[in-house]
Copies of this chain bind each other. A is one copy, B any other.
Amino acid sequence: MTDAAPSRTRRSDATRAAILRAARERFAADGYDRATIRAIAADARIDPSMVMRYYGSKEGLFAAAAEFDLRLPELADAPPERLGELLVRHFVDRWETDGTMAALLRTAATNPAAAERMRGIFADQLTIAVTRVVPDPAEAPRRAGLVASQMLGLALTRYVLRLPPVVDADPAELVAWVAPTVQRYLRGTPDA
């Protein structure tokens, strides 16, 4: 430990970043079990033992790689009748360029820690954002749950299962069809 407080850039930061990048890709492509530390290390062109030194364990590496911020836009600023569109467009744009959600989804299917993180993201980010724009705050968790079921279903079928019609649809088309669903889950009633 040379310098404690200022934390200047260390020479190993590049390595750390390379590991993290490789880990994200591997976890996204293969899921937790099949993404081996050896493969990740090979991608990052370093020795497997470096992964252990910098991230402690495979679990620790995953925890670092799965850090995920939905980066939800400020929903309260938007016209209430366009919330669904705003949210769906945001998610699709985000997922189209960042594979972390696919990684999380693939991993959460079998790894309890990843599933727990998924629940955390849901509770700490989506539900909180939804609470601000929902007619009755008491209904927020349920409405957020419905939104999650549709949005995660979209991510699942498009990026993980790769159902052909869902893969082939362009983002604008998806937004057009799915936005009304999310809009109703946020502000509507079961019947309408």
List chain A positions with a Cβ less than 8 A from chain B. Answer: 30-34, 105-110, 115, 118-119, 122-123, 141-142, 144-146, 148-154, 156-158, 160-166, 169, 176-178, 180-181, 184-185, 190-192
Contacts and interface: CB of A to CB of B under 8 A. Distances in A.
B108 A160 contact: yes
Contacts of A166: 145-146, 148-149
Given A119-B163, A148-B166, A178-B146, A110 B156 contact: no
Q: Is the interface of A mostly helix, strand, loop or mixed?
A: helix
Given A119-B164, A153-B150, A110 B145 contact: no
A180 B87 CA distance: 20
A3 B142 CA distance: 58
Closest 9 CB pairs of A and B: A153-B153, A145-B165, A31-B110, A109-B109, A33-B33, A176-B190, A141-B165, A145-B166, A149-B153
